Chain A
Amino acid sequence: MSASGAPLALKLENVRKSFGLTEIIRGVSLDIPTGQRHAIIGPNGAGKTTLFNLISGRFPPTSGRILLDGFPINDLSPCQINRRGLSRSFQITSVFPRMSVFENIRCGLLWSRGYKYSFWHLLGREKALNEASEQLLDRLNLAKRRNVMAGLLSYAEQRALEIGITIGGGATVILLDEPTAGMSHSETAYAMDLIRSVTEGRTLVMVEHDMSVVFGLADVISVVVYGEVIATDRPDRIRANKAVQEAYLGTEAA
């Protein structure tokens, strides 16, 4: 545990979530310090994505507290949580399919730059905004695809675009849900570099199945099994952890 006294970007206190009679998240507590790259792993159905949905406000937790930079966000809506500096991507690619790549990126920048619901700014004239969007496109290596409809991009390109939309607003806490799922080997390597560079100086929490990505990116790993965190530790220690090996890594790591 990194109890070094660094400020916590994200803190979960005994968070529980039930759907009907089924308890999916059964008392999760997590401390994620600012600037950490934190991976959440666990077998299918362990509740990793549900945990993301609770943190990002898609559903409210049944009980417990979630604090973002020390501020309780349990009862906030997704857009309010986003405005407080937390942004996420989705397990199933989620972009704006009938808008151009450039428009997708620009939309991601709008709120943080104070445009709100303005119907009096003409976007074509907002120089600083457009330059920032172009720069982000360059970083994502999507500049060539600028005017293509997002729905026509290849799968890997859509994933990169979604990461761009996610980080564009300047969020300090980034949640990525299986960012490399379904990618080829080379695409995964590229996505890892991209994630590493764009989350520089930010707090990253990601759910990931690909162990090479997890061990390559994460400073700290939490293992979730049946709605509970059974271990949170540095990657090398997680690898050596008996309980983790039995519950999850078992066959893969052996």
Chain B
Amino acid sequence: MTMETAQPGPAALVRSIEPAPAAKTRSHWLWLAAVAIALALPWLFFNWSTGRHSGFVLIMLSEIGLMTIFALSFNMQMGQSGLLSFGHAILFGLGGYCTAHALNAIKAGGLWLPTELVPLVGGLGGLAFGAFFGFIATKQRATAFAMITLGLGELVAAAALMFTGFFGGEGGISTNRVTGVSLLGASYSASWQVYYLIVAWTLISTVLMRLQTQTPLGRLANATRDNFERAEFIGYDPRMVRFCQYLLSGFFAGIAGALYAILYEIVTFDTVSAPKSATALLATYIGGVGGFYGPILGTILIVLLQSGVSLLSNAWLLYVGVLFVVMVMFAPNGILGLIAMHGPIARSGRVAALIVPYLRVLLPGLMVVGAFVLLVEMASFVTIGAEQGKSFKLGGAMHIDPFTLPPWVAAAAALVVATVWLRLEARALGRVWDGLSDEAKRLGQAS
């Protein structure tokens, strides 16, 4: 990964410029819309005949909320400061453990703290552990920083199984969010109450992290990312900038961990483990490291895959992996980068000219995905699915026997043909795109 001397591509250069006043009001509307959707969404899945919320949807949405905070806190290090951490989950998990112990203490009557404010315990835990780990890790930057965080991640994961007093060993720490102490008189025994608590904290954390990018520290984090030596010669100690940024990032990761503890009422050692760190990294890269909002998009996609596709397929993790590789290869600036690329063409008013080429790419694109999925699913069926007593159906009706050759040949042939077709269409799209962006550039210069 090019962390040190990442030469910004044109798309990367679009961002972080202060938006024009018109764009600012538009982003206010986006915020309002996002909040409205978050508030309304559970009711779309409300079962009016039984009068019950869908537990699955509520937990999935809650997961999106807390993982959004986690991924954004990861991006405070990655995108903003150029610090790639392989052990970000230690701050998340330790925040969660602190919260679980705090909840147990509240329940036992040893501590008075309303549930609404319990996430602060996780935040402060993340901050305190962030101070300790950050002191070690931020001594270095770039690759050395990544290696230190990798080591710290393994260290904490190992410690989680050794020090059973704090971590509870393999069983983790169980807790109970129904403490009976609340500012709003809510018991938090129902999932929807927890969901709205998570929405509130996600909103608070997101706003605070967004504002932080506009403070001297936030800007200096960008500056040390771009050119740490120059930052030194304008009076700033790059290590101190990295440390402060790591600390704040730990605070928010801790809040995410606290919400996790409140949601699941158990914190186990996998909250500090490498796969948890990888989730933040995947979400951030798929969404886009460049802009502030990228990790939010990435998190939504990853959690949907995690919760939705994992029900349908044994191979869901493989799809996440392939998605990650494809994104990094073809769209290194993530989903947000893809959207931002359209900016100049949209401003020249020619975006409609892209619709037909896009549709023409979509068809072979879907075929490639379909054929690939079919191959993966057949392989997965042959190796584990058959033993689980499942039968292989396509579209709910068509029976396929993956233990015979024809479906394999057909799927492989479809994949090859569709790939060739896709490349041709992609080239045609590329030509249209180049034409339009040249036109947009000329218009931009003329005005």
What residues make up the interface of A, taking CB atoms closer than 8 Å to B? Answer: 56, 58, 77-79, 82-83, 87-88, 90, 94-100, 102-103, 106-108, 110-112, 115-124, 147-149, 151-152, 165-166, 168-169
Contacts and interface: CB of A to CB of B under 8 A. Distances in A.
Contacts, number: 119
Would you list the 5 A-B pairs with minimal beta carbon distance, nearest first? A111-B235, A96-B226, A115-B216, A78-B232, A119-B217
Nearest to B19: A147
B220 A152 contact: no
Contacts of A119: 212, 215-218, 244, 248
A169 B220 CA distance: 14
B215 A106 contact: no
Contacts of A90: 229-230
Contacts of A100: 16-18
B396 to A, nearest CB: 49
Interface of B: 8, 12-13, 16-18, 211-212, 214-220, 222-223, 225-227, 229-237, 240-241, 244, 248
B16 A99 contact: yes
A118 B236 contact: no
A96 B8 contact: no
B216 A98 contact: no
Contacts of B232: 77-79, 82
B217 A147 contact: no
Nearest to A112: B235
B219 A123 contact: yes
Contacts of A99: 16, 219, 222-223, 226
What secondary structure prevails in chain B residues at the interface with A?
helix
A108 B227 CA distance: 13
A118 B215 contact: yes
Contact of A79 (B16, B217, B235): B235
Contact of A149 (B13, B212, B230, B233): B13
B216 A152 contact: no
Nearest to B290: A98
A123 B216 contact: yes
B17 A147 contact: yes
B227 A123 contact: no
Contacts of B212: 119
29 contacts: A78-B232, A79-B233, A79-B237, A82-B234, A88-B233, A94-B230, A95-B230, A96-B226, A97-B8, A97-B226, A98-B222, A98-B225, A99-B222, A100-B18, A110-B216, A110-B234, A110-B235, A111-B234, A111-B236, A116-B216, A117-B220, A117-B236, A117-B241, A119-B216, A119-B248, A123-B216, A124-B214, A149-B8, A169-B235
